[in-house]
């Protein structure tokens, strides 16, 4: 008996590391002081040029969107999803990403699949100015079904203490600006899969006229990073708070940044719900309240500002590639929560 016959292929693992090293190097920034393969990754905070740096950390996965990747055998976009989701999670507190770590676990390691996933991770890291500093690839035979894996990401970013965005300045009268999502992002897939595959009996290759795309294409659209759009405003006082609309939708995520005595009033008529969400809601008979608590419904990030700064923010967003940014509501007096009008 040896390790290979027990289900763990050390040679395959070494091949994955060899491929990852090249991809990781392509993401390196001046702060990186180590190579993939060290026991720990080294990063110099001095390279960030901050006066009083506050580290902001987050960890996340992509949920059952992985099931769509398994069915389509398309894995690169999953890597992009993971990075962009994590970038947005620290962006809402005013942080820029510094470095990223990933964890990939599978039953039997496929160097091609692993390389495709990490290729997507590296691409998103480069686009966000974030170094892929390290990670872990775990081969655990008998723990996962053949062809399946799990994926998690860990991000560290930083912001000057004076420029932290914590929502404490939010007050009644402030404006809520919505930035469009690119699709489901990484949430609501358990319900979406039940509607599409169990109820409608569709395949990932089935073409849906309402979406002008196949099921696989529609469900695998990558999670957006909002860093390029929001970054020009970081370090200013224009943004009072931001909410990344992930699991729980607008209903559960927006109240997370509201101080006592404030409530959000959202006007659903201010934006057109994208066809993907309308199709899912109608096909599944999903109640409206559940839809807004499960899906992002076309709004991936909400930015809070004073009425005086509204036009500045909209102009900045439009100039940096988001013409569909728009005011979708206001802050009113009340207990933290969301009222739809």
| Residue 97 and residue 195 in one domain | no
Angle at 123 between CA 119 and CA 127, to 5 degrees: 170
Please state the separation of Cα 109 from the chain's center in Å. Answer: 25
Q: How many domains does the chain contain in total?
A: 2
CATH of the domain at 288: 3.90.650.10
Model pLDDT, residue 109: 87
| Residue 216 and residue 148 in one domain | no
Model pLDDT, residue 19: 84
In a domain? residue 1: no
Model pLDDT, residue 273: 96
| Residue 225 and residue 322 in one domain | yes
Which residues form the domain of 273?
175-340
pTM of the model: 0.94
| Residue 154 and residue 42 in one domain | yes
In a domain? residue 5: no
Please give the average pLDDT of every successive group of 10 residues along the chain, which has 341 residues. Answer: 59 78 93 88 94 96 96 96 98 98 93 94 97 93 91 98 96 98 96 97 96 96 97 96 97 97 97 97 96 97 98 96 96 96 90
Model pLDDT, residue 17: 79
| Residue 156 and residue 235 in one domain | no
| SS3 of the chain | CCCCCCCCCHHHHHHHHHHHHHHHHCCCCCCECCCCCCCCCCECHHHHCCCCEEEEEEEEECCCHHHHHHHHCCCHHHHHHHHHHHHHHHHCCCCEEEEEEEEEEECCCCHHHHHHHHHHHHHHHHHCCCEEEEEEEEECCCCCCCCCEEEEEEEEEEEEHHHCCCCCCCCCCCEEEEEECCCCCCCCHHHHHHHHHHHCCCCCCCEECCCCEEHHHHHCCCCCCCHHHHHHHCCCCCCCEEEECCCCHHHHHHHHHCCCCEEEEECHHHCCCCHHHHHHHHHHCCCHHHHHHHCCCCEEEEEEECHHHHHHHHHHHHHCCCCCCEEEEEEEECCCCEEEC
In a domain? residue 143: yes
Model pLDDT, residue 339: 97
| Residue 60 and residue 179 in one domain | no
| Residue 83 and residue 201 in one domain | no
């Amino acid at each position: 008996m040896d390790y290979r016959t027990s289900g763990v292929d050390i040679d395959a693992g070494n091949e994955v590391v060899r491929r990852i090293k090249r991809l990781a190097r392509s993401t390196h920034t001046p702060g990186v002081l180590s190579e993939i393969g060290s026991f720990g990754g080294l990063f110099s905070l001095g390279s960030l040029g901050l006066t009083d740096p506050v580290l902001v950390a987050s960890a996340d996965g992509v949920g059952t969107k992985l099931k769509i990747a398994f069915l389509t055998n398309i894995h690169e976009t999953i890597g992009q999803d993971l990075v962009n989701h994590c970038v947005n999670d620290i962006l809402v507190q005013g942080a820029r990403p510094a470095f990223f770590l990933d964890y990939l676990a599978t039953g039997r390691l496929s160097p091609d699949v692993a390389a495709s996933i990490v290729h997507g991770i590296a691409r998103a890291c480069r686009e966000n100015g974030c170094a892929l500093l390290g990670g872990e690839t775990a081969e655990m035979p008998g723990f996962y079904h053949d062809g399946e894996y799990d994926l998690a990401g860990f991000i560290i970013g930083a912001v000057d203490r004076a420029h932290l965005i914590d929502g404490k300045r939010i007050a009644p009268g402030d404006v809520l600006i919505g930035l469009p999502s690119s699709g489901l992002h990484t949430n609501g897939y358990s319900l979406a899969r039940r509607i599409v595959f169990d109820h409608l009996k569709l395949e990932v290759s089935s073409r849906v006229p309402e979406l002008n795309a196949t099921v696989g294409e529609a469900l695998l659209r990558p999670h957006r990073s909002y860093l390029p759009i929001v970054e020009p405003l970081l370090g200013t006082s224009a943004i009072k708070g931001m909410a990344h609309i992930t699991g729980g939708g607008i209903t559960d995520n927006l109240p997370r940044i509201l101080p006592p005595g404030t409530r959000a009033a959202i006007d659903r008529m201010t934006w057109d719900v994208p066809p993907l969400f309308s199709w899912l809601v109608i096909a599944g008979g999903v109640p409206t309240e559940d839809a807004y608590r499960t899906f992002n419904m076309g709004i991936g990030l909400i930015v809070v500002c004073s009425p005086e700064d509204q036009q500045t923010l909209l102009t900045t967003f439009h100039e940096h590639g988001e013409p569909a940014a728009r005011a979708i509501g206001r802050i009113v007096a009340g207990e933290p929560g969301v009222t739809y009008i």
